[in-house]
Amino acid sequence: MPLMLDLTSKTIIYLFFALLVSEMRKLMDTLKELASEDPLTRANSGRYFYEFGSTEIARAQRSKQPLTLAFIDLDNFKDVNDTLGHQQGDALLVEIATTIKANLREGDILGRLGGDEFAILLTQTDQQQAKVILSRMQANLLNAVHPYDTRVTFSIGVVTYLADKPTSMKELVALADKAMYVIKKSTKNAIQYSDT
């Protein structure tokens, strides 16, 4: 009889720990997903975007394929929050992220890097291909924000790197950001392609 209780107790303890480990794995998966996704826009978080991009840079170098990064800053977005409120601003950010994702190809990735700053990594994409994709995307973004009756437009800086020019994601984002500021300080609502 004591042997039976001992075996039953051990089985219960084992099952309890198996259940506990299973629940911990689910929690870890949920936390990993939360860390990789911006909770508002469902774009990838900046951290995940940089990690993914680093992997893609290495892949581009191995396969000798071009890689394009676009940095998107929303012009006049502060006015939306100031005049229409943060709830309307949040709705607009969600609409913008949804529109960008709808225009991406399989293998491309969107990241939210700041409040009203997004970045797109276009894999296996040279500058000519990027021009077609981003021109269409900018037109679609302008159509998407039109119903919000705002002055929001899009300043976009773009940099294309070839596989023979090793770089880091940090450098790539900085170059695209620099190209974006050329537009931001002049006309706004345009795309600036950087020559690397």
- Point out the residues that are catalytic: 116
The structure tokens listed for 87 are 């709830």
The structure tokens listed for 170 are 């940090």
Q: Which amino acid is at 123?
A: T
Instruction: Indicate the pairing of strand 117-123 with strand 109-114.
Output: antiparallel
Closest by alpha carbon to 41, among 110, 143, 109?
110
Largest CA distance in the chain: 86
